[in-house]
Amino acid sequence: MLSVVRGRVAGGESLPRALAGAPGGPVSVQGLLADHDRAQRDLLGAGDAVQRLLEDPAVTDVVVHAARVWVDRGHGLEAVPAPVGSESEVRALAVRLAALAGQRLDDAAPIVDGVLPGGTRLHAVLPPLAADGTSISLRPLHQRDFTLDVLAATGMVGEETRDLLAGLVVRRANVVVAGATGTGKTTLLAALLALVPPTERLVCIEEASELRPNHPHVVHLQARSANVQAAGSVSLSDLVRAALRMRPDRVVLGEARGREVRDVLAALNTGHAGSWFTLHANSSADVPARLVALGALAGLDPAAVAVQAGAALDAVVFLRREAGQRWVAEIARLDVRAGTLAVDVVAHVVEGTVHHGPGWEGFRARWSP
């Protein structure tokens, strides 16, 4: 095997170090094991330097751009001195990663969005579209078993919030989990879905399968982009409609980011209670505008979105992330007033303390487990 992989591999280093470091001398077992690990990272992972970063549990994003590397360890992107080689090696790495994701990346198809074996999300853009050099964005899927207990221990939810969230699950509320990227929307949703009774069937619809709820009956549906002949695409909208015919007890949309919002709202309004989706938003108050913007992509006017969302959605759970801490910062309910969608924050969490807003008592009485 070593003779096959001897030499430089894209993004990696010369492989058989244990051997090269000991010409004619004894070869240490540790050295061989280290070489084996490095060879695995080079051949099956994202190259030794980048794969090491992806395996760090604190790292949520790794980006390579113009042959430099940045990581996000919870405090925004920071440059790190990882040796990824020259632009041509980074390009070769991007092409190889795309192939691992079962996709093509070349001058005819210079943008790729896919999932690597193991779940890391890949996005890459080649020059000249990426003007300064190949750009790779990687989002590792850390298979950490985040139960609600574990999330509570990290400070994401306090006792009162946690009870209410559990109530929203078991009493079959339709809920939007909102927040910025990396605030823990998907993680919290997966932990909550574990509370769905085991007799129910969950259908999770995602761009790339990320949700791994600890539940015995989950169907994962993944969207697919078009091939280079512009054929074969299956959108989230298509999957939401398919899901409805799969006898779901719960329809879960990993992230609403386009016209599928129309299909989800339609589903919720036709009796699919207990459904959840996540939405990128900067506050609970931002949720109506986001829904209206996504609805517009599907040809819905703001009044139609307000009526449908107001009737279908029972709660917004808003997550915040600051200085490495992620927490449920707001719980809100939606209402339609004068034809527009209104958000009433019923609970607001500041430094671990829950401040109740008007409507809290009624909301808790409705949804407590």
Ligand X SMILES: Nc1ncnc2c1ncn2[C@@H]1O[C@H](COP(=O)(O)OP(=O)(O)O)[C@@H](O)[C@H]1O
Question: Does residue 202 come out as left (phi exceeding 0), alpha (psi in the -120 to 50 range) or beta?
Answer: beta
Q: Which does 151 bind (CB under 5 to 8 A by kind): ligand X, Mg ion, none?
A: ligand X
Q: Which does 225 bind (CB under 5 to 8 A by kind): ligand X, Mg ion, none?
A: none
Cβ 160 to ligand X shortest distance, Å = 17
Q: Of 5, 8, 55, 60, which one interacts with ligand X (CB under 6 A)?
A: 60
Contact region with ligand X (CB under 6 A), list: 10-18, 158-166, 179-187, 343-351: 179-187
Does 119 sit near ligand X (CB under 6 A)? no
Cβ 108 to ligand X shortest distance, Å = 31
Contact region with Mg ion (CB under 5 A), list: 56-64, 106-114, 184-192, 264-272: 184-192
Comparison of 149 and 301: residue with beta carbon closer to ligand X:
149
Does 355 sit near ligand X (CB under 6 A)? no
Does 183 sit near Mg ion (CB under 5 A)? no
Determine the Cα–Cα distance for residues 177 and 281; give it in Å rounded to an integer. Answer: 9
Q: Of 11, 85, 179, 274, which one interacts with ligand X (CB under 6 A)?
A: 179
The answer to whether the CB of 281 falls within 8 A of the CB of 257 is no
Q: Roughly what angle, to the nearest 10 degrees, separates helices 287-297 and 260-268?
A: 110
User: Which runs of consecutive H residues, i.e. helices, occur in 226-272?
Assistant: 236-244, 260-268
Instruction: List binders of ligand X among 82-111 (CB under 6 A).
Output: none
Determine the Cα–Cα distance for residues 236 and 68; give it in Å rounded to an integer. Answer: 34
Does 120 sit near Mg ion (CB under 5 A)? no
Cβ 218 to ligand X shortest distance, Å = 17
The answer to whether the CB of 328 falls within 8 A of the CB of 317 is yes
DSSP secondary structure letters along 79-144: EE------HHHHHHHHHHHHHHTT---BTTB-EEEEE-TTS-EEEEE-TTTSTTS-EEEEE-----
Q: Which two tokens stand for residue 175?
A: 């809920």
- 308 CB-contact burial (10 Å; exposed 0-12 / middle 13-18 / buried 19+): buried
Q: What is the DSSP letter of 224?
A: B
The answer to whether the CB of 139 falls within 8 A of the CB of 226 is no
Q: What is the DSSP letter of 352?
A: T
Does 16 sit near ligand X (CB under 6 A)? no
Contact region with ligand X (CB under 6 A), list: 24-32, 151-159, 303-311, 349-357: 151-159
Does 186 sit near Mg ion (CB under 5 A)? yes
Does 65 sit near ligand X (CB under 6 A)? no
Q: Of 144, 224, 337, 355, which one interacts with ligand X (CB under 6 A)?
A: 144
The binding site for Mg ion (CB under 5 A) comprises: 185-186
The binding site for ligand X (CB under 6 A) comprises: 60, 142, 144, 151, 154, 156, 179, 181-187, 326
